[in-house]
Amino acid sequence: MIDFKNASFLKLKPVPDQNFLPMVQGMFTSGEEVIQSFQSIRDGIVFTTKRIIAINVQGLTGKKKDFSCLPYSKIQAFSVETAGVLDLDSELELWFSGLGKVKFEFTSNCNVQEICRMISDRVL
C-alpha cells in the first residue's frame, strides 16, 4: 500500500481515462465505471463510481505498480482548497476510517469543486 503519510505526490493533472483504464479495469466490480483520471509524472489516481484508486508506478521500467483502493464508504470527512493568486495548486484532503488522512495536490486547471461535488454525491 502507498504510504500516504510520507508520500510526496506531484501535482496531478486531468488526463484521458484511457491512460489508466487498461491498468485498473480488471479490478472493477459489477457496474463500476471511471469518472475521472489524474496523473503526475508517472503516478496517478482514478476516481470510479465506487472508489478512488491510487496508482504508484515503481522501478526504472515502470512495470511494477502498486494499487491502493480507497472506497468512498470509508471517507469520514474531506476538505478542498482551491487555487489562489499566488498559490496555484488545489488540494483535496480525505480522512478515511482506519487509514487517516490522504492528500492529493492538483494543478490549477483542475476543477476541485467538481471533484468535491462528486465525492459528496457518494459520501453524504
What Cα–Cα distance (Å) separates residue 22 from each residue in 70, 94, 107? 19, 26, 24
Closest by alpha carbon to 104, among 119, 92, 117?
Answer: 92
What is the reported pTM?
A: 0.87
CB atoms closer than 10 angstroms to residue 90? 23
Q: Which three cell numbers stand for residue 48?
A: 470510479
Q: Is CATH 2.40.50.100 the classification given to domain 13-123? A: no
What does the pLDDT profile of the chain (124 residues) look like in tens digits? 566 665 555 689 999 999 999 999 999 999 999 999 999 888 899 999 999 999 988 888 888 999 999 999 999 999 988 876 666 678 899 999 988 889 888 887 788 888 889 999 999 8
Q: What share of the chain is helix, strand, coil (3-state, %, to 5)?
A: 20, 40, 40
